[in-house]
Every structure is written in structure tokens, then in C-alpha cells.
Structure 1
Amino acid sequence: MDRSEKRAFVASLASVFADTSMVVVAKYQGLTVADSTDLRRQMRAAGASYKVAKNRLATLALDGTRFQGISPLLKGPTALAWSKDPVAVAKTAVEFARKNDKFVILGGALGNQVLDPNGVKALSELPSLEELRARLVGLIQTPATRIAGVLQAPGGQLARVLAAYAKKDEAEAA
């Protein structure tokens, strides 16, 4: 990379850090290309991004952002994963680390709060934003479904009584 490419990369990474809520730092040494591709695919599916960046450039991009506290984690071969949904990126990273021992989570940051690996793991155990939305919709729909069921019950009972009389009349006529 020449200087202009480095500047552009630092600027783009800084804009990403300004727009995200969670960053996870991980060691990726020993991952195969297929494993890295699989991890990127999983991150994309979860609405997160995964990037291997030079530590010096990542540190420059972190300066002045709320994620500046993770700079000490950037030693050796490290990769960054980020997302607007903090649970999604943590969940995806922890799940991949569980399956692949060469991917080691070093820590992360949720806003100004720096997290150790256990903090990232604890965050991954929370329900994601989509799960919370689904639960909320379910809670809202449940009373409406019950009300509809209660209102329909008398009509259904009447229909069953009439059907029973109709069958009785058919049996007597035959």
C-alpha cells in the first residue's frame, strides 16, 4: 500500500468506527482461507463486518473514537469485527471461536466500555435485537389472539350444536 491508499484506508476505518456500536478484536493466526471465508459469510449474514487490518493503521483509525481503549489489544496478527447490533457481532464471533480453536477472541469494546473475552462472551449470550423484536411482537399479538378466540367460541359452539341436530335428523330420516 502506498501512502494515499493507507490514508484512505484509515479514513474509511475511522468512519466505520464512528458509525458502529460494537467492535471485537480477535487473533486469527492459523485460519485457513476457507475458514476465513466462512467467518466473513457468517458475519455478513448477522449484519456484521470482519476485516484483517494492519495494527498500526487500525490504531491510527481508532485514535479519537470511543473505541480507543482497544488499541492495546492490537498486537500480533489481529482481526476486527464490528456491527451496529452489539449482540450479533459478539454472538457470531463467540460461536465461530467455539468451533475453531485458531480463532481466539482477545476482547472488544461496546461504546466507551472495553470488554475482556469473558465480557464479549457474556454479551453473546443475550438475545439479539431481532429476537427481542420477535418476542415483543409475540407479546403484543397474544392478547389479541386470545380475545379473538373468546369472541369466536360462542359462534363455534352454536355451529356444533346445529351440526349435531342435523346429523340426528339425518339418522332418524334414514
Structure 2
Amino acid sequence: MDRAGKEVLVSSLNDVFRNTGVVVVAHYSGLTVAQIQKLRREMKKAGASVKVAKNRLVKIALDGTEVQSITSYLKGPTILLYSQDPVAAPKVAMAFAKEHDKLVVLGGAMGRTALNADGVKALATMPSLDELRAKLVGLIQAPATKIAQVSTAPAAKLARVFGAYANRDQAA
């Protein structure tokens, strides 16, 4: 890669680090190309991304960003997993690491907060933003549905009583 290509890569990585919610760093030594492609597909499906770049260029791109704390993890063959949703990238990374022991999660960063491997694992167990939104909508809708059920319950009970009397007269 020539100097201009490296400058473009560093610039794009810097934009990623400034605008991302979470970055996870892992070692990928021993994974096949097919396994890395599978990881890329799973990350894309979850709304996250994967980047493999030279550690030296990544360190340059990290200068002045909030996730600069991941610099210590950039040794050896590393892969960067990142997403806007603070849970998406860790969740997919940990699930993939369970299936493939060659992917070793080293740590990461969520904003200014540095995460070790246990921190990434804790993030992976949390519900995603979409799941939290669904729970919130369910909680908001629950009182309204209960009020509707309570208001229609007396009429329904009365209709069942009338139906029972009607069926009793027909049976006799």
C-alpha cells in the first residue's frame, strides 16, 4: 500500500473511532478465510462492522479519539469489531468466540471507558437497543390494554350469563 492509501485508511479509521459506540479488539490468528467471512456476515447482520488493519496505522488513527485506550491491545494479529449500538459488536464477538476458539477477545472501549475481556463479555449479555425499546413500548402499552380489558370485562361476563340462560332453556 502506498503512502496515499495509508493516509486514506488512517483517515477513515479515525472517523470510525470518533463516531462509533463501541470497539472490540480480538486476536484472530488461526481462523480461516471462510470463518472470517462468516464473522463479517454475522456482524453486518447485527449492524456492526469488522476491520483488519496494521496495528501501526490503527495506533495513528486512534490519536485524539475517545477510544484511545485500546492501544495496549494492538499487539499481534488483531481484528477490530465496532458498532454504533454498544451491545451489537460485543454480542456477536462473544457468540463467535464461543463457536471458534481461535478468536480471542482481548478487550475494547465504549467511549472513554476502557473494557477488558470481562467487560466486553458483560456488555454482550445486556439487551440490545432494539430489545430495550420493545420492552419500553410493552411497558407503556400494558396499562392501556389492562384498562380496556377491565372496562369490557363486565359486559363480557353479562353476555356469558345470558348465553348460559339461553342454552339452559334450549337444553330443557
Q: TM-score, normalised by structure 2?
A: 0.94
- In the alignment, which residue of structure 2 is the partner of 1:22? 22
What is the identity, as a one-letter code, of the residue corresponding to 1:148?
A
Kindly state the Cα deviation for residue 139 of structure 1 after the two structures are TM-superposed: 1.2
- In the alignment, which residue of structure 1 is the partner of 2:102? 102
- In the alignment, which residue of structure 2 is the partner of 1:144? 144
- In the alignment, which residue of structure 1 is the partner of 2:54? 54
What is the identity, as a one-letter code, of the residue corresponding to 1:91?
K
- In the alignment, which residue of structure 2 is the partner of 1:82? 82
* SS in structure 2 at match of 1:154: helix
- In the alignment, which residue of structure 2 is the partner of 1:5? 5
- In the alignment, which residue of structure 2 is the partner of 1:125? 125
Shifted more, 160-169 versus 88-97: the winner is 160-169
- Residue 154 (1) aligns with residue 154 (2): yes
How far apart, CA to CA, are the structure 2 residues paired with 1:45 and 1:137? 24
How far apart, CA to CA, are the structure 2 residues paired with 1:71 and 1:61? 10
How far apart, CA to CA, are the structure 1 residues paired with 2:41 and 2:92? 10
What is the identity, as a one-letter code, of the residue corresponding to 2:3?
R
Sequence identity percentage: 59
How far apart, CA to CA, are the structure 2 residues paired with 1:16 and 1:163? 67
Q: Which runs of 5+ in 2 are unaligned?
A: none
How far apart, CA to CA, are the structure 2 residues paired with 1:39 and 1:94? 11
**Deviation string, structure 1 residues 63-113 (Cα, Å, up to 9, x no partner):** 111111111211111000111111111111111111111000111011112
How far apart, CA to CA, are the structure 2 residues paired with 1:157 and 1:81? 57
- In the alignment, which residue of structure 1 is the partner of 2:35? 35
What is the identity, as a one-letter code, of the residue corresponding to 2:31?
L
How far apart, CA to CA, are the structure 2 residues paired with 1:39 and 1:59? 23
Kindly state the Cα deviation for residue 168 of structure 1 after the two structures are TM-superposed: 2.8
* SS in structure 2 at match of 1:85: coil
- In the alignment, which residue of structure 1 is the partner of 2:69? 69
How far apart, CA to CA, are the structure 2 residues paired with 1:102 and 1:171? 73
**Deviation string, structure 1 residues 4-50 (Cα, Å, up to 9, x no partner):** 11111111111111111210000001111121111111111111111
- In the alignment, which residue of structure 1 is the partner of 2:93? 93
